[in-house]
């Protein structure tokens, strides 16, 4: 493995030289000869480079993903966390995503929490996903509560309520207590609306 090629790639990328960057990253990938090299470099990369956005796809497919997939198969917490961080790469490459059973960011975070149930960071990762889901669900309020792109049904509302209870358990520092209270209040109002609409519908069919 020749790290200098990767450094040259980063320089070319910063300078906007796409053709050179493409050539350099391909040459860099070819310098790996063992699984041990790939694992060592993957750990270096994930710990020293921001993964706020998708990793370059060649680098992810040929170097990072094989390492993380092997770790996923042996239930390695670090590898599962890194797969969650690289979720955008998975979503864009179905042939890779399928190899972990199409697990979403949320499912990977839940798996990590199952493996490390006392880890505060693991709890906060799941909590963060739940809060983002609730934010999305209520963003058309007072029109309603969303589940996916449609209004939530009564069974789906019960699922949201169950997730809300889970969020309260995970929120050990009560950082989201006020938010969760107001979200639950909206959800209960929406459930009441559904119940009232169902009662009226049933009555009209008598």
- What's the pTM? 0.88
SS3 at position 87: helix
User: pLDDT (tens digit, 9 = 90+) per residue, 90-145?
Assistant: 999 999 999 999 999 999 999 999 999 999 999 999 999 999 999 999 999 999 99
User: What contacts 67, CB < 8 A, 6 or more positions away?
Assistant: 35, 38, 39, 42, 79
pLDDT score of 156: 97
Residue 25 confidence (pLDDT) above 50: yes
Q: What is the mean pLDDT of the chain?
A: 94
Whether the pLDDT of residue 43 is over 80: the answer is: yes
Taking every pair of Cα atoms in the chain, the longest distance, rounded to a whole number of angstroms, is 78
Whether residue 82 is preceded by a cis peptide bond, meaning omega within 30 degrees of 0, is: no
- Which tokens sit at 33? 């000869």
Q: How many CB atoms lie within 10 A of CB 159?
A: 12
- Residue 10 contacts by C-beta under 8 Å, 6 or more apart in sequence? none
Residue 170 has pLDDT above 60, yes or no: yes
Residue 2: asked if its preceding bond is cis (omega within 30°), the reply is no
Choice between 31 and 51, residue whose per-residue pLDDT is larger:
31
Q: What gap in Å lies between CA 47 and CA 56, rounded to an integer? A: 16
């Amino acid at each position: 493995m020749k790290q200098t090629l990767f450094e040259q790639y980063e320089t070319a990328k910063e300078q906007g030289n796409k053709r050179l960057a493409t050539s350099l990253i391909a040459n860099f990938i070819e310098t790996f000869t063992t699984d041990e090299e790939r694992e060592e470099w993957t750990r270096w990369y994930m710990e020293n480079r921001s993964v706020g956005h998708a990793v370059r796809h060649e680098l992810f497919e040929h170097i990072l993903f094989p390492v993380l997939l092997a770790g996923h198969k042996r239930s390695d917490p670090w590898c599962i966390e890194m797969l969650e961080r690289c979720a955008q790469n998975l979503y864009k490459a179905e042939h890779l995503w399928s190899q972990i059973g199409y697990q979403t960011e949320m499912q990977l975070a839940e798996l990590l929490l199952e493996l490390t149930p006392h880890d505060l960071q693991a709890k906060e990762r799941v909590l963060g996903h739940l809060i983002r889901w609730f934010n999305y669900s209520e963003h058309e309020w007072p029109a309603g509560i969303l589940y996916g792109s449609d209004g939530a049904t009564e069974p789906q509302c019960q699922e949201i309520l169950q997730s809300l209870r889970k969020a309260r358990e995970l929120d050990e520092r009560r950082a989201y207590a006020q938010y969760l209270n107001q979200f639950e209040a909206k959800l209960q109002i929406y459930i009441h609306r559904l119940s009232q609409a169902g009662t009226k519908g049933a009555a009209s069919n008598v």
